[in-house]
Structure 1
Amino acid sequence: MVKEANCLHKRCVKCRSRGELGTCGDPFPFNVTEPDAEAGIHVVACPSGWCGKMIEGTTGAFRTDDYGAATQRMCLQRSPSDDEERCAYTMWNHRKVYMCFCNGDLCNSAYKISAPPIILITILVAIYNYFQFSL
């Protein structure tokens, strides 16, 4: 009965690492459905259902003696005020970071490529025109 109750809750990946060799960065190659798949990577219950991924140090803020960008994945205590999934630069503890919010079971284990709708529309129009005029 306990397993059934756990299935009702959403889960998030919880980890933090720095640099290219860290286990928490992208791409995220681990199967998070297996418990303790990798040291330092945890699957945690998330009552809010909202997971996050934060990347620090991608804007040149690190000094030369630092180890590179730090990636952190976590459960958010509450949803964003507009309940929208997104990725954007924001301020966190007086630092500029790149942060993504997602809603879903283990959603922060995936690498998400997001593009503004205008770029997607432009690409689709270009492909349509290419095939229309080449035939």
Structure 2
Amino acid sequence: FYAVLDGLRREGRTVFFSSHVLSEVERVCDRVAIIRSGRLVALSDIEVLLDRRRRHVEMRFAGDAPALEGVPGVSDVVAQGGSLSCQLEGDVGPFLAAIAHAQVRDLTIEPARLEEAFLEYYEDAAAA
């Protein structure tokens, strides 16, 4: 199945693919449309859509964690001794500059997932 879709992609062909298994959509598609209540609410390259999403970050430091409050794109900072978790959105440059002089022991940035983006569109509808 995936080999067929990859072959069609290399040939430059368009395939309309509908699925509720968003990890599968993320794997095989270049662009995605999100439809809510019969209306198109998003149409974007998957990469562009995911770049705008927040990613979860976990870090461990040799000493105390650096202060990240106020760093552009960083939110929900929770620091405890040499451990820190936060959310990261957009350009990682300011974040990397803020931790550049710290002794980082471990750094994990979880990539944004299409399912999270999809759920945001539906949560917005529920809140309205």
Q: TM-score, normalised by structure 2?
A: 0.30
More helix by share: 2
Q: TM-score normalised to the size of structure 1?
A: 0.28
